[in-house]
Amino acid sequence: MVKLAELPQEELFTSGHRLCAGCGPAVAMRIMTKALRGPTIITTSTGCVEVGSTIYPYTCWNIPWVHSAFENAASTAAGIEGALKALSRRGIINEKIDIVAIGGDGGTFDIGLQALSGALERRHDFLYVCYDNEAYMNTGVQRSGATPYGASTTTSPAGRAIPGKLVWKKNIAAIAAAHGVPYVATASIAYWNDYISKVRRGLEVDGPAFVHVYAPCPLGWRIPSEATIQLAQLAVQTRVFPLYEIIDGRYVLSLDIPKPKPVEEYLKIQGRFKHLFTPECRGEVDVIQADVERRWAALKKLCSQ
């Protein structure tokens, strides 16, 4: 774990962006840049971070940065890696340059999954960071493949017909690990030193790495701006979002939660789950609690092997 005093003073994700007050992805970006170890090129797909941090002619990235379309952050990173290899072979550059691709949950779980899969399968040497705020937040809070069961969004509105989204969130870390890549990890902005350590490990491995960072959204989750870190912490403490690593296929739990808080504590302070506490939908909380426990048991089993 890194210590606070060890963090670099230099800010590579600077102030002046247009992201919301209390924006979890903005916190995720600032923390992530503290883990960078040297020359780095970042590419970011369209999403909250991209549109909020690079409104022309301004940028808050104090580092070489490339905009990618919604679907191809991983492809762009692969292209950058290939270009750097070519320059190295010609003797034009002689230093290691890290490459970081960034995508939101929509650009990773859904639209960019094909490009991500291809880049991981081809073993391009880059780190992919997925900031997960669990919906398409900058285009109107539509549900994504990362949106949890029971959440009310503009395309899965809770009402008489459905109690919010009816299917479970994709296990994107397992999908990335299934490619046989050397490093996959989950992280939370509430556990900044764990997150920084994992970003650094992802940069240090030889080959592709994937870090899935949990980043609450006050707008879409309908929470106060000051509750962002509290929600990120509660997600871990209720086992909703476990922290772990997958190193060369071996699962390692980063933080055990022997006495979890009930998932209700996490759900009840979010407006997107408000309907679950009505008499008609109250049973859905128990369904979610049971799924959290089932997934935690499965993770613990994987970590014990």
Q: What are phi and psi of 280, to 5 degrees?
A: -70, -30
Q: Which residues of the chain, if any, have pLDDT below 50?
A: none
What the block records as the tokens of 52 is 């909020």
The predicted structure's pLDDT at residue 78: 98
The predicted structure's pLDDT at residue 2: 80
The predicted structure's pLDDT at residue 305: 87
The predicted structure's pLDDT at residue 105: 97
The predicted structure's pLDDT at residue 30: 97
The predicted structure's pLDDT at residue 10: 94
What the block records as the tokens of 137 is 């937040």
The predicted structure's pLDDT at residue 195: 98
The predicted structure's pLDDT at residue 133: 98
The predicted structure's pLDDT at residue 6: 87
The predicted structure's pLDDT at residue 4: 86
CA of 224: how far to CAs of 22, 24, 97, 185, 301, in Å? 8, 12, 39, 28, 36
CA of 145: how far to CAs of 27, 35, 41, 246, in Å? 22, 28, 28, 21
pLDDT digits (tens, 9 = 90+) for 122-138: 999 999 999 999 999 99
